[in-house]
A and B are shown apart, each in its own frame.
Chain A
Amino acid sequence: AQSVTQPDIHITVSEGASLELRCNYSYGATPYLFWYVQSPGQGLQLLLKYFSGDTLVQGIKGFEAEFKRSQSSFNLRKPSVHWSDAAEYFCAVGDRRDYKLSFGAGTTVTVRA
């Protein structure tokens, strides 16, 4: 069965600094990989997804993620964070057969001025 680990529960970053959120997955084949963001009181918004092809994926809000098969990782990055990026971020892996998602526990990002 697939699983996702997000090692960092909480990250604090200064506005304008770079951000990297870690995600490791366990899956028997090439997975579908996703990053979602949840702002307070909001739903889960898709930032980006990887199905195949180029391992560097561009998403919305200036985020990107890189799929590294050798490390079973799909880390999320942003070169310069804005105060509005403060939120909870979830990595997820999808099964290619049944279209259900398995989520990581999430990483809360705090942005300080």
Chain B
Amino acid sequence: AQKITQTQPGMFVQEKEAVTLDCTYDTSDPSYGLFWYKQPSSGEMIFLIYQGSYDQQNATEGRYSLNFQKARKSANLVISASQLGDSAMYFCAMRVVISSGSARQLTFGSGTQLTVLP
């Protein structure tokens, strides 16, 4: 089964502190991609960061970094120096093979609602 699991429905963090949002995945495909998206209350989906299954180093984009532990099948998002504007829903997603052929699609976790406290 190809599945993304986010076990934290909600998280709180103090402004300026770091926070880790958990994501575990399950796939039998040796080649896959892992993504994090941010969804603020306005509703749009904003791409944050990408990690390929063959990438040797953990991905980083500004204050975002992805703690990729392949053996544990985890791809946690780390946000450093949290800001009030980071309050949003965060989705982990995996690009997986579609059963009907070689095409790939994104499958999403259920999300984590992050609230940054002043």
| Genuine A/B complex | no
